[in-house]
Amino acid sequence: MAKYDKLRPLIAQVIENMEKVIIGKRDVATLSVVALLAEGHVLLEDVPGVGKTMLVRALAKSVSAKFKRIQFTPDLLPSDVTGVSIYNPKEMQFEYKPGPIMGNIILADEINRTSPKTQSALLEAMEEGNITIDGVTRKLPRPFFVMATQNPIEYEGTYPLPEAQLDRFLLKMQMGYPSILEEIEILSRAEKIPPIQELQPVITVEELIELQQKVKDVYVDDTVKRYIVEIVQRSRTLSSVYLGVSPRGSIALMKAAQAYAFVHDRSFVIPDDVQFLAPYVLSHRIILKSEAKFDGVTAEDVVTDILERTPVPIQR
């Protein structure tokens, strides 16, 4: 317990480290750490230039882990992600040459600019923690965390992510434009040495893995579990929804809530955790009917409506 008490302040230090680079986005930094602790993955969607890539780099530099970047382009091949087996005539056998997926923190930059075939190369890695090359399954290192960035689908030269891959992301969030004062601060910092260059690691891989294990011990009462399930169940019954949230979404919401409670120094989940996280965890798992989209309804609107209609359990 004494060692654990020493580790807990490191979480706040990671978030503070990220805020040295990303100004005015504490929620985004916190949610990134939540996903990392919950052993999930994050999809950042926003217009170019708002700091998506810088956020991932700041998180990676705060954790002394192996960082890899994959720049997704239309001509990228699956083997460019996973690696390839090459025949060695001297040894008379095939040797595996690791791809950039063999890292701890992976930046999948502009993931929707490559073909669906290459996008799917991440599926097994994100879900199972393995990759299969020429019939041989290889274990990925721990921790393994993917933070993917994508531009809005209306932008030219982008491919929509398939539903199966969207479902593998624990959270989907947006950065948003900075306020006037925040953007002035960004300009002031840009005059000097970029803050990202001065960031130092504040946590080791071993400490991070230990914290990930501690997150699993966060208590989730049956009433909170029922609350999560009722929210998810309602997403499957609405007339505006073509496909609701799967049981994987229920598990994702519970795990995210455990990590969120842990970050806020609690050993138990409360309904407020679920309410705050639901839009980030569930919105990208909901597929709307065409008529609902035509009427201007968004998945975020649906989640907000569900939260308003679902009775909140009373803590006793």
For the chain, which residues make up each domain, given as ranges?
2-211, 216-309
Rounded CA-CA distance 35/263 in Å is: 11
Same fold, 2-211 and 216-309: no
**108 pLDDT above the threshold of 80:** yes
The 10s digit of each residue's pLDDT in 111-134 is: 888 888 888 778 778 888 888 877
Q: Assign domain 2-211 to its CATH superfamily.
A: P-loop containing nucleotide triphosphate hydrolases (3.40.50.300)
Mean pLDDT across the chain, nearest whole number? 85
The 10s digit of each residue's pLDDT in 274-288 is: 999 999 999 999 888
Which residue has 């968004």 as its token pair? Answer: 298
Report the percent of the chain where pLDDT is more than 70: 96
**47 pLDDT above the threshold of 50:** yes
**268 pLDDT above the threshold of 90:** yes
Rounded CA-CA distance 124/119 in Å is: 11
Q: Grade residue 85 by pLDDT with cuts at 50, 70 and 90.
A: confident
**160 pLDDT above the threshold of 80:** no
Top-ranked range on mean pLDDT: pick from 9-23, 63-77, 132-146, 242-256:
242-256
The 10s digit of each residue's pLDDT in 195-254 is: 777 788 888 888 899 999 999 999 999 999 999 999 999 998 888 888 889 899 999 999
- 174 CB neighbour count, 10 Å cutoff: 15
User: In the prediction, which pLDDT does 240 show?
Assistant: 87
Rounded CA-CA distance 136/17 in Å is: 39
Q: Grade residue 1 by pLDDT with cuts at 50, 70 and 90.
A: very low
Mean pLDDT across the stretch 35-57?
85
Q: Which CATH number fits domain 216-309: 3.40.50.720, 2.40.30.10, 2.60.40.420, 1.10.8.80?
A: 1.10.8.80
The β-bridge relationship of strands 136-139 and 203-204 is: unpaired
Q: What three-state secondary structure class fits 105?
A: strand
Residue type, 58: A
